[in-house]
Amino acid sequence: MIWKTIKVNFHRLGSPPTFYRLAQVLAPWLWAGFAVCAAIGLYQALYVVPPDYQQSDSFRILYIHVPAAWQAMAGYVVMAILAVIALVWRIRTVEIMAMAGAPIGAAFTFICLATGSLWGRPMWGTWWAWDARLTSMLVLLFIYLGIMGLYAAFEDRRKGARVACILILVGIVNIPIIHFSVEWWTTLHQGATIRLFSGESTMHESMMPPLIWMTIAVKLMFGAALLDRSRNDLLDQDRRKGWVQARLGESA
């Protein structure tokens, strides 16, 4: 009974006009939240936190690098959840959302790799090191690119989305294995310094607040970008449909 109610509501939410309206209302709030959190986080990261006694100011790139890395992985999990929903209930808007997540996730992965490389130059003396976390991030980037390429290769965009959803699910099984195997393969990187759930953090307390602000900011930005991208894709795919023309006519 409850199951059925959830399903009905899901499908209602999945109807393109409803989703479009919801995304239109929600996205600006998320963008605003992102701007506020990022402003606080960046101010604290750049002016409040004292320089590190070993790395001086260069460690501050961490406040971009780490949230981007987390979001690159969290974004994949979000896509995988959307992919399950899309494949099981065949809701078109969810398929579109899953696909809209890929370029954003890929962008965060790229930011993570680029900032990591900038950080690595002064710290390790090299732009690129074949260490476990860098390598698995690079592999993740390729998985993202594979999903985007597969989706783009289909003429029928719905079919492309559904096929790419299968790939997303294959990836979610594989990513932990890749991560683990790459870790096994080499351990050159410094050990994990931030442990949220177990043991004590080896980061100084004063360094934490901006990281939290930036993490929240990045999550909000992901959500906002996801909604905006899916809204645009929906508009593009449905441009000949009645509801789009009614909506555009209304605003024109």
Residue 65 CA to residue 129 CA, distance in Å, equals 16
Can residue 130 be called a binding residue for other proteins (CB under 8 A)?
Answer: no
Q: Which stretch binds other proteins (CB under 8 A): 30-38, 73-81, 214-222, 241-249?
A: 241-249
* Binding test (CB under 8 A) with other proteins, winner from 60, 92, 133, 219: 92
Residue 10 CA to residue 22 CA, distance in Å, equals 13
Can residue 153 be called a binding residue for other proteins (CB under 8 A)?
Answer: yes
Residue of 42, 46, 99, 87 whose CA lies nearest to 215 = 42
Residue 46 CA to residue 54 CA, distance in Å, equals 17
The amino acid that residue 128 corresponds to is W
Pick between residue 77 and residue 194 the one whose CB is nearest to other proteins: 77
Can residue 18 be called a binding residue for other proteins (CB under 8 A)?
Answer: no
Can residue 235 be called a binding residue for other proteins (CB under 8 A)?
Answer: no
Pick between residue 83 and residue 225 the one whose CB is nearest to other proteins: 83
Return the structure tokens found at 196: 């949220």
Residue 234 CA to residue 226 CA, distance in Å, equals 12
Cβ pair 149, 167 in contact under 8 A: no
- Give min distance, CB of 144 to other proteins, in A: 9
* Binding test (CB under 8 A) with other proteins, winner from 36, 169, 208, 235: 169
Give φ, ψ of 187 to 5 degrees.
Answer: -135, 75
Binding site for other proteins (CB under 8 A): 92, 139-140, 142-143, 145-146, 149-150, 153-154, 156-159, 162-163, 166-167, 169-171, 173-174, 177-178, 180-182, 184-185, 241-243
